[in-house]
Structure 1
Amino acid sequence: MAPLVGLARCLVFLSLARDVVPVPSPQSIRSDLTILTHNDLYGNSSTRQAATIVLSARGSRSNAESGCKALQETLWDPADHTELDFLRYLEYENASDDIGHYWIRSRSNTGCRAITTLGKIKAIPCDTKLPALCSQSAPLGSTSSNNTGPAWQTTVRTGEATVVGYRDKLAFRFLGLKYASYPARFTYSAYQAPRGQVSALAYGPGCIQSSCTDASCSEQCLYLNIWTPHLPSNARSSKKAVMFWIHGGAFMSGFGSDTTFDGGSMASRGDVVVVTINYRLSTLGFLATSQSKSRGNYWLSDMVAALDWVQNHIQDFGGDKERVTIFGQSAGAASVRALLASPRAKGRFSRAIMQSCPGGTGYSLYPSIAEATNKTNAIYAANGCTQQNEAGRLACLQKADPAKLVTGTTTYNFPVVDGTYLTSSELLLDGSGPSLDVALMTGVMRDDGAPFSSFSKSLNASQTLTDQGYDADDILGSDLFPVPQSGNATLDIFNLTARVATDAMFRCPTQSTGFSALKSKVFPVVYSYEIDRGFQLVSWSPNPRTCEAPKTAEDPLGDPNLPYWKCHSGELYYEFGTAIREGRQPRDQEDIPFSQYLLDTWTAFGRTKHPNPDLGFLQARGFTNTSAVVKKITPWKPTSARDLKLRVLDVRPRDEGFREVKQCEVLKLPMDYYLDSSHSADVK
């Protein structure tokens, strides 16, 4: 465990022992607690900084003051702010039976005052029973600074545990919650209920991977994190939809604590509860053997255990266990696909979003344990485990250096058909499997494959395609993939291979998934999209500058209106609303409004099973930018097998038909790919 993590966990127990100011909870205050703010995603540069903590329980003005004091706050003073329209959400949500009046701070000699949801203030008898608005003085967290001190701490009681988290300006944060009893290496995890006093002030260690094998990573890494705008005081309190995020990283890397996925903005602006998780990676998460307790898919057992934790406890953090959306990108999307295919995950979620889900073996097609044997044997040999029987070799590997098991060329990182967590070689979309009562949204970035192509030293298009593993004769002979003629031959050939990679790896498998699922009626509804605007991650931008908007003298941060590739992972800052938090300044006047729109769209799907933000919700929150977009466009309709429409997500969203359909046929990935049983031969 990293020293800072250990220090944070020790500090919480000191705070729990304080006699003067105990850590408050909704139960001790006897009221639901809700953090309400506008949150336009501009961070500390926003002109709309008003925030309040809503105490929904009705009481006298004296009761309201006591409740705020327990939070180390005072009654809220609207005179400190000019923008009050965010209060309208209190009426929209029916947070109080007495819609419209909330205790606020009184000025000297003015008696007791209340404010309406329209911002009107009037004198009220002090013994009137009203809900209250408290000040919210917790600072906005950042990647470099998060104040977890006693003033901001809050406890949640769940099961037999008391969990201590903290708040920042946007949300209550509970980090590093252990969700499973840690299993022996190469065995399956299972949900474990929290018990006793639990610190949730700092992220738990990440799962061991090649980029992180020091004290900040561990084999004991099964932790989840929660961001919530709302803490209930009892079981009858209202609950929020849950967004359960699964990180990508080719099943080899990644963290639930990656600040790209900080859930504060999504929870605050989207009015949802956000959960992120760690899960075991590389050989430690995937090694498949013939031994009954070690048949692979330990990573998938981790996800099921985390979903079980959510089903048992998320209601105490304000979440609705009946409205859980699993969503992920890249290998995270492949994880969503595997959870949809897994009988062990059934009933634990009702919505799913697959973002840039790769096709092919390991991501959409699962080999058998026998087909993984050669790789398993190579791992044994690389670690000196040469015993005659597999039980002996496995026992040897269980003692091997974990850092060696996740690095180098001799690793394993693919799902397998283990017979329990995965019982078929794929998510069955041909009608032979069960229908799933799960709303599905799926799509890609416009140039998803560009980071997985490469600049070639050859100026011969045929040779370059062959070197990158494609059938050059079919591709070039089709006349459907012309080589651009810009005068820069190297860039022109990259343009070709990036297009082929996007189609082959992402677009064609994704579109076939949607078409096949609809044809076979696997899901009740499917929404298809493609994103035509990208904001590449600081931490991952392959083939430098191809995925970045070109910089000009007029636009030194980049001009998104000029041509550039909209690459894999280019939507993540937008959907989580973390661009500014991660140090990316807006390149133009559209970057943050587009982030607002994408976040609002994703969370609308989580709340309602369709991705059209409700105008009433938007107007109540004061989200004028997204409201303006929604008013100008037609509603996003589900895709149908007879009308293969996708929503193009850009500054001006629009509908188009599925893209590159003829090109997908050339690549032998036609619309009916997942309906044709012969594709199972692609499993290697």
Structure 2
Amino acid sequence: MISMVGVSLHSLYWYWLTRWLGNMSSRTDAVIVLSTPMSETQAQVECAALGESLWYPSEEHLRQDSFLQYLTYEGMNGPYWIGGRQGPSCKDMTASGMMGLRHCPNLMPALCTQTAPLSNLTYADNSTKWQTQVSTGEQWITGFRDRNSFRFEGIRYAPQPERFTYSQVYNGTGNSTALRFGSQCVQAGEVGSEDCLFLNVWTPYLPASSKPSPKKLKPVMFWIHGGAFTGGTGADPTFDGGAIASRGDAVLVTINYRLTTLGFLALNDGVTKGNFGLADQITALKWVHEHIRDFGGDPTRITIFGQSAGAASVRALLASPKAMGLFAAAIPQSNLAGSNYATTYSQYYNISTEVALVANPILNATGCLDASSQVECLRGINPYFLANLTTVARFLVVDGTYLVTDELEVSGRGPAAHVPVLMGFMRDDGAAFIGYPLPSQNESAFLASQGFNVTSNVLTLDFPVPAGPNATLDVFNASAQVATDSEFRCLDEATAYSAIKHEVFPSVYFYEFNRSYQLSTYQPNAPVCDAPITPSHPLGDPSAEYFKCHSGELYYVFGSLLFNNLLPRDQLDIPMSQFTLDSWTAFARTYDPNPSLAYLSARGFTNTSAEVRRAGRWIPVSNSTEGLTLRLLQYPSVQESFGVYGPQSQCVALGFPLDYWESHF
């Protein structure tokens, strides 16, 4: 094991991955940059301590534009020590490709080879050769590097709290390992542990100093997983951060937080007020604020982002007085709001209502209803028994501390973090939250069976069943639009509209995904969310029509398709992922999802630069009819109105008009 300071990975792994997929570059080089000035002899020693040697450019590299031009873009043109001594002289090279000879005792930064293997879903080499230590607070934390990034898996951010109490930031001492993910939190199926408050860090840069220059620190992306507040983990391979760190030049943090009844139970005892899982997220944010600088991250540029229940968490953190000041921007993806199942993700119960609907059934099932102390009784119940009850706690509540209003106030009537927001949904998000109709059911009967109270007149006028060859699929098609509008589109658009109108957020960029790659682990109403298989597309043809369902954007956002051992279905899946990841990390870097063409040029990201030129700028929402605009994320992407796949008349008919958050109380 070795300790690395002042190093960054400058990896061209993405080029190597995409060489056969149409990217113009076929370069495979990767280097480690030692930024601290040192003699050439010391540089050899430092590279050897990493299990590497001084790097020397290949003939392929010399024939092409230097991939090191990003260092020039960052203001670090060099020169750098490289390999290939000539007698008493040592070789150096600038990031722009100029090579020369220099006296070996001179002090300069250096370039080391980078031969660490690539990690994927089934393989990661965390052996001693690739290990690295970071000093933070009074701890030394050991992680490892792979081809893409420095990886720290399973860092404790809070000690295990007593059940139904709030977590506190962990500031450990001595040595700890972060070589494998920590346990996920208790959830149904006897999965997980109550000792689960761990986070994971992927970073392209480790500072040489305990007080690094703020200009060198990277933006931080803080991911909150979804799972209905009852399941999930920050260690899900869908969220692997290698691509965000390497391609996006950002630090990714993913977290666990307490789930189900152990994370969200509230009682009428005046003490057990719920929101423990939400409080864990805030504790993790506090840990990141205190320590992420030592991992190369900028604590003043933290973007919180999450999907589904993770998006609901982001929304709640935007509303939470306890979270304000801990983050600089937010990305809620597919936030649920509106009717049926979606209601409670954006509108919060008071504790009395939660007790009546959830806590009392739990107390009855555990025999704790009449206990002298209900909370002490519940502390004695097996955690897996609690997680597997028919009724579990999974609701955010107005507890008076973490949440003080029953919704995020986007009309200026209550607390809301004044930060830039990027938000949106999948075109057919709601298709995952309904079943599949029986052949005998018409649209009205099927929606009624799914709990939607929509009149036949509204269905006929605003959600007519299309005429297709499969009558049952046609009913599902129209019903999925009702579900998407009722539970996602209408109130997410209303959120953007009101927040901009009342200047709650300084900017809102809105999107609708119209291309998806459904998770291999989540297949609602299979196979409707998958691109149809054809002779020419044995993995599915994304250019054909299919449902763009809940979670279908995640592989694109994280660039994790290949990490998960999945193959692109056509020539556009990888460029789409590149463009999406580049847009998300641009937002984390500048609070604008339009990547800088200069940045893209310096990185050699030709696919995204071509798409930016072709699609034009992603325009933020503004307070006018023409300003109700979103980016239709497909390939190529286009700027469209809010009504591209559903006019506002449909939202009005469902009871969720554009001014919903202003007009209801």
Query: Aligned partners of 1:488, 1:362: CA distance in 2, in Å?
Result: 34
Unaligned runs of 5+ in 2: 21-25
Shift of 1:84: 5.6
8 Å contact kept, 1:85–1:622: no
Query: Aligned partners of 1:302, 1:268: CA distance in 2, in Å?
Result: 28
Q: 1:427 aligns with which of 379, 388, 408?
A: 408
User: Secondary structure of the residue that 1:363 maps to in structure 2?
Assistant: helix
Shift of 1:557: 0.9
Shift of 1:549: 0.7
Bigger mean CA deviation after superposition, 201-210 or 461-470? 461-470
Query: Aligned partners of 2:166, 2:323: CA distance in 1, in Å?
Result: 14
**Alignment-derived partner of residue 168 in structure 2:** 190
Query: Aligned partners of 1:474, 1:421: CA distance in 2, in Å?
Result: 42
Shift of 1:543: 0.9
8 Å contact kept, 2:320–2:416: no
**Alignment-derived partner of residue 417 in structure 1:** 398
Give the percent of matched residue pairs that are identical in Structure 1 and Structure 2.
48
CA pair 480-110 structure 1, distance change in 2 beyond 3 A: farther
1:664-679 correspondence to structure 2 within 5 Å: 664-678=651-665
Query: Aligned partners of 2:65, 2:88: CA distance in 1, in Å?
Result: 21
**Alignment-derived partner of residue 69 in structure 1:** 48
**Alignment-derived partner of residue 3 in structure 1:** none
**Alignment-derived partner of residue 181 in structure 1:** 159
Q: 1:315 aligns with which of 293, 298, 315?
A: 293
Shift of 1:116: 2.4
Query: Runs (4+) of structure 1 moved beyond 6 Å?
Result: none
Q: 2:602 aligns with which of 606, 620, 625?
A: 620
Shift of 1:593: 0.5
User: Secondary structure of the residue that 2:314 maps to in structure 1?
Assistant: helix
8 Å contact kept, 1:41–1:578: no
User: Secondary structure of the residue that 1:180 maps to in structure 2?
Assistant: coil
8 Å contact kept, 2:84–2:90: yes
User: Secondary structure of the residue that 1:617 maps to in structure 2?
Assistant: helix
Shift of 1:521: 1.2
CA pair 191-41 structure 1, distance change in 2 beyond 3 A: farther
Query: Aligned partners of 1:92, 1:265: CA distance in 2, in Å?
Result: 20
Q: Work out whether 1:236 is the aligned partner of 2:212.
A: yes
1:69-88 correspondence to structure 2 within 5 Å: 69-79=48-58, 81-82=60-61, 85-88=66-69
Bigger mean CA deviation after superposition, 356-365 or 155-164? 356-365
**Alignment-derived partner of residue 36 in structure 1:** 10
2:519 maps to a residue whose letter is L
**Alignment-derived partner of residue 518 in structure 1:** 500
**Alignment-derived partner of residue 565 in structure 1:** 547
**Alignment-derived partner of residue 381 in structure 1:** 364
Q: Work out whether 1:648 is the aligned partner of 2:632.
A: yes
8 Å contact kept, 2:158–2:284: yes
Query: Aligned partners of 2:659, 2:262: CA distance in 1, in Å?
Result: 35
1:379 maps to a residue whose letter is I
8 Å contact kept, 1:325–1:353: yes
Bigger mean CA deviation after superposition, 144-153 or 111-120? 111-120
**Alignment-derived partner of residue 11 in structure 1:** none
User: Secondary structure of the residue that 2:132 maps to in structure 1?
Assistant: strand
**Alignment-derived partner of residue 111 in structure 2:** 133
**Alignment-derived partner of residue 23 in structure 2:** none
8 Å contact kept, 1:475–1:666: no
8 Å contact kept, 2:322–2:401: yes
User: Secondary structure of the residue that 2:345 maps to in structure 1?
Assistant: coil
Q: 1:538 aligns with which of 520, 523, 526?
A: 520
User: Secondary structure of the residue that 2:552 maps to in structure 1?
Assistant: coil
**Alignment-derived partner of residue 96 in structure 2:** 118
Query: Aligned partners of 2:16, 2:494: CA distance in 1, in Å?
Result: 38
1:647 maps to a residue whose letter is R
Q: 1:166 aligns with which of 140, 144, 153?
A: 144
Q: Work out whether 1:210 is the aligned partner of 2:188.
A: yes
2:596 maps to a residue whose letter is D
User: Secondary structure of the residue that 2:258 maps to in structure 1?
Assistant: coil
1:81-480 correspondence to structure 2 within 5 Å: 81-82=60-61, 85-95=66-76, 99-106=77-84, 111-211=89-189, 213-214=190-191, 217-234=192-209, 235-237=211-213, 238-360=216-338, 361-374=343-356, 375-387=358-370, 389=372, 392-434=373-415, 436-457=417-438, 458-473=440-455, 476-477=458-459, 479-480=461-462
8 Å contact kept, 1:343–1:420: yes
Bigger mean CA deviation after superposition, 605-614 or 77-86? 77-86
Deviations 1:321-374 (A, max 9, x none): 000000000000000001011100010001000100001432100010001112
Query: Aligned partners of 1:465, 1:110: CA distance in 2, in Å?
Result: 81
CA pair 434-288 structure 1, distance change in 2 beyond 3 A: closer
1:34 maps to a residue whose letter is S
8 Å contact kept, 1:475–1:667: no
CA pair 637-197 structure 1, distance change in 2 beyond 3 A: same
Deviations 1:271-309 (A, max 9, x none): 000000000001010001123431100001100100000
Shift of 1:585: 0.5
Q: 1:584 aligns with which of 541, 555, 566?
A: 566
User: Secondary structure of the residue that 2:141 maps to in structure 1?
Assistant: strand
Query: Aligned partners of 1:354, 1:511: CA distance in 2, in Å?
Result: 12
Shift of 1:542: 1.1
**Alignment-derived partner of residue 29 in structure 1:** none
CA pair 41-108 structure 1, distance change in 2 beyond 3 A: closer
2:252 maps to a residue whose letter is V
8 Å contact kept, 2:537–2:569: yes
8 Å contact kept, 1:245–1:277: yes
Bigger mean CA deviation after superposition, 299-308 or 69-78? 69-78
- In the superposition, the TM-score normalised over structure 1's length comes to 0.92
Deviations 1:589-631 (A, max 9, x none): 0000110000000000001011010111111111010011112
8 Å contact kept, 2:486–2:656: yes
8 Å contact kept, 2:311–2:333: yes
8 Å contact kept, 1:50–1:81: no
Deviations 1:573-597 (A, max 9, x none): 0010000111211111000011000
Unaligned runs of 5+ in 1: 1-14, 16-22, 27-31, 679-684
User: Secondary structure of the residue that 1:592 maps to in structure 2?
Assistant: helix
2:138 maps to a residue whose letter is E
2:481 maps to a residue whose letter is R
8 Å contact kept, 2:597–2:609: yes
Shift of 1:435: 5.3
Deviations 1:236-257 (A, max 9, x none): 3321000000000011100000
Q: CA RMSD in A?
A: 1.7
**Alignment-derived partner of residue 12 in structure 1:** none
**Alignment-derived partner of residue 7 in structure 1:** none
8 Å contact kept, 1:41–1:265: no
8 Å contact kept, 2:78–2:109: no
CA pair 477-275 structure 1, distance change in 2 beyond 3 A: closer
Q: Work out whether 1:483 is the aligned partner of 2:465.
A: yes
8 Å contact kept, 1:41–1:592: no
Q: Work out whether 1:509 is the aligned partner of 2:488.
A: no
1:40-51 correspondence to structure 2 within 5 Å: 40=14, 43=17, 47-51=26-30
1:524 maps to a residue whose letter is P
**Alignment-derived partner of residue 10 in structure 1:** none
Query: Aligned partners of 2:425, 2:448: CA distance in 1, in Å?
Result: 25
CA pair 566-393 structure 1, distance change in 2 beyond 3 A: same
2:360 maps to a residue whose letter is N
Query: Aligned partners of 1:512, 1:490: CA distance in 2, in Å?
Result: 32
User: Secondary structure of the residue that 1:86 maps to in structure 2?
Assistant: coil
